[in-house]
Structure 1
Amino acid sequence: MADRRGMLCPRLAQHKGHVMAQWKTLGAGVALSALMGTTAAFADVTATDVWKRWSDTAVSMGQQVSVGSERREGNTLVLRDLVFSQATPEGGYSANVPELRLRERGDGSVEVTVAPEIPMQINATPTEGPATDMAVVMRTKDMRTIVAGTPEAMSYAITAPKIVLEGDAADAAAAGSAGAGGVPVKFLVTMTGNEGAYTVDGADVQMIDGKFTTDAIDFTLSGADAEAGSTFTAKGGTEDLSLTGKTRMPKGVDMQDMAAALAAGFSSTGAITYGKTGYVMDFSDAEGTGNIKSSADSATLDFSVSGDGLSYAGQGTGTQVEITAPTMPFPVSFAMQQAAFKFAMPVAKRDMAQDFGLKLDFSGVTISEALWGMFDPTAQLPRDPARLLVDITGKAKLVADFFDATAMQSGAAPGEIEAVKLTAMQLNVAGADLSGTGDVTVDNSGAAPKPVGAVNLRLVGGNTLIDKLVAMGLLPDDQAMGARMMLGLFAVPSGEDTLTSTIEFRADGGIYANGQRLQ
Structure 2
Amino acid sequence: MSRISVTSVAWALPFALVSQAALADLTPTEVWGDWRAYLESAGYTVEAGEAVAGNALTVSNIRLGMPMPADEGVANLSLGTLTFQQNADGSVSVVMPAVQQLRMHMTAAEPDAKPVQLDLSFTQNGHALTARGSIENITYDYAAESLAMVLDQLQVGDETYGEQNAKFKLAATGVKNATTVTVDQVRSYQQTGTIASVEYDIFVDNPEDSTKLKLAGGLSGLTLDGGGAIPLEIIDAEDMAAMIKAGFKVSGQIAYAQGRSDAELTDPENGSFKAATTSGGGTLDMKMGAEGLAYSGAQKDLAVAVNVAEMPFPIEFSMAEGGFNLAVPVSKSETPQGFALGLTLAQFKMSDLIWSIFDPAGQLPRDPATLKVDLAGKATMLTDILDPEAAAKLGDTPPGKLETLRVNTLLLDAVGAKLSGSGDVTFDNTDTTTFDGMPKPEGALDLSLAGGNALLDKLVAMGLIPADQAMGARMMMGLFTVPGDAPDTLKSKIEFTPDGQVLANGQRIK
Matched, 1:506 2:497: yes
* Counterparts of 2:264 and 2:293, CA distance in 1: 38
Q: Could you tell me which of 412, 428, 437 is aligned with 2:422?
A: 437
Q: Is the 8 A contact 1:315 1:341 kept in 2?
A: yes
2:372 equivalent in structure 1: 389
CA distance in 1, matches of 2:352, 2:204: 33
Alpha-carbon deviation of 1:216? 1.2
Within the candidate set 440, 458, 468, 1:450 is matched to 440
**1:104 CA drift (Å):** 1.1
Question: What is the RMSD computed on CA atoms of the aligned residues?
Answer: 2.9
- Residue number in structure 2 paired with 1:421: 406
Could you say if the C-alpha distance between residues 398 and 71 of structure 1 is closer, same or farther in structure 2, counting changes exceeding 3 Å? same
Q: CA deviation at 1:224?
A: 2.9
Cα gap change, 1:491/1:38 in structure 2, threshold over 3 Å: closer, same or farther?
closer
Please say if 1:310 is aligned against 2:293: yes
Greater shift in the superposed pair: 257-266 or 285-294: 285-294
Classify the secondary structure of the residue corresponding to 2:338. Answer: strand
Q: Cα gap change, 1:34/1:419 in structure 2, threshold over 3 Å: closer, same or farther?
A: closer
Aligned pairs for 1:105-144 (under 5 A) are 105-115=87-97, 116-121=99-104, 133=116, 135-142=118-125, 143-144=127-128
The residue number in structure 2 matching 1:343 is: 326
| Structure-2 separation of matches of 1:268 and 1:32 | 13
1:53 counterpart (17, 34, 45): 34
Contact 1:82 1:98 in 2 (8 A): yes
Aligned to 1:192: 173
State the SS of the aligned residue for 2:455. Answer: helix
Could you tell me whether the CA contact under 8 Å between 1:37 and 1:58 is conserved in 2? Answer: no
CA drift at 1:59: 2.9
Give the counterpart of 1:145 among 119, 125, 129: 129
One-letter code of the match for 1:110? V
Asked if the contact 1:40/1:199 (under 8 Å) is kept, the reply is no
Q: For residues 298 and 134 of structure 1, do their structure 2 counterparts lie closer, same or farther at Cα, with a shift above 3 Å needed?
A: farther
State the SS of the aligned residue for 1:366. strand
Q: Provide, for residues 366-421 of structure 1, a one-character-per-residue CA deviation record: whole Å limited to 9, x for no partner.
A: 01111112221222111111111111111111121222221112123221011111
The aligned counterpart of 2:461 is 471
Deviations 1:47-70 (A, max 9, x none): 001101211222344433221x21
- Is the Cα contact below 8 Å between 2:198 and 2:218 reproduced in 1? yes
Q: Is contact 1:346-1:356 (8 Å) kept?
A: yes
Counterpart in the other structure of 1:232:
213
Q: Residue type of the partner of 2:299? A: G
Q: CA deviation at 1:38?
A: 5.2
How many Å apart are 1:509 and its aligned residue?
2.5
Question: What is the aligned partner in structure 1 of residue 52 from structure 2?
Answer: 72
Report SS of the residue matched to 2:22: coil
Partner of 1:5: none
Q: Distance in 1 between matches of 2:4 and 2:508?
A: 50
Q: Alpha carbons of 1:374 and 1:445: their partners in 2 closer, same or farther (altered >3 Å)?
A: same
> Which residue of the other structure, out of 388, 392, 412, is the alignment partner of 1:409?
392
SS at match of 1:409: helix
CA contact (8 A) 2:239 2:388 kept: no
Indicate conservation of the 8 Å contact 2:120/2:150, yes or no: yes
Change (3 A) 1:464 1:281: same
Distance 1:119 1:363, change over 3 A: same
Cα 1:478–1:169 shift into 2, 3 Å: farther
Deviations 1:315-352 (A, max 9, x none): 11111000112222221200011112222222222221
Corresponding residue for residue 69 of structure 2: 89
TM-aligned CA deviation for residue 87 of structure 1? 2.9
- Which residue of 228, 245, 250 maps to 1:247? 228
Rounded to whole Å, the distance in 2 between the matches of 1:168 and 1:417 is 51
- Structure 1 stretch displaced more, 444-453 or 364-373: 444-453
**Residues 424, 131 of structure 1: alpha-carbon distance in 2 compared, 3 angstrom cutoff:** farther
Say whether residues 1:496 and 2:477 are aligned partners: no
Separation in 1, partners of 2:26, 2:207: 56
Give the structure-2-normalised TM-score: 0.88
Measure how far apart 1:132 and its partner are. Answer: 9.7
Distance 2:67 2:453 in 1: 60
In structure 1, what is the equivalent of residue 138 of structure 2?
154
Q: CA deviation at 1:72?
A: 0.9
In structure 2, do the counterparts of structure 1 residues 227 and 46 end up closer, same or farther at CA, with 3 Å as the change threshold? closer
Deviations 1:454-504, CA, capped at 9 Å, x for gaps: 211111111111111111122222322232222222222224111112222
Distance change >3 Å, CA 283–CA 395, structure 1 → 2: closer
Structure 1 residue runs of 5 or longer lacking an equivalent are: 1-17, 179-183
Q: After superposing the two structures, state which structure 1 stretch, 260-269 or 308-317, moved more.
A: 260-269
**Contact 2:451 / 2:489 at 8 angstroms: preserved in 1?**
yes
- Distance in 1, matches of 2:128 and 2:218, equals 25
CA distance in 1, matches of 2:489, 2:117: 58
CA shift for structure 1 position 253: 4.1
**Counterpart in 1 of 2:81?**
99
Show the counterpart of 1:260. 242
The alpha carbon displacement at 1:39 in A equals: 5.0
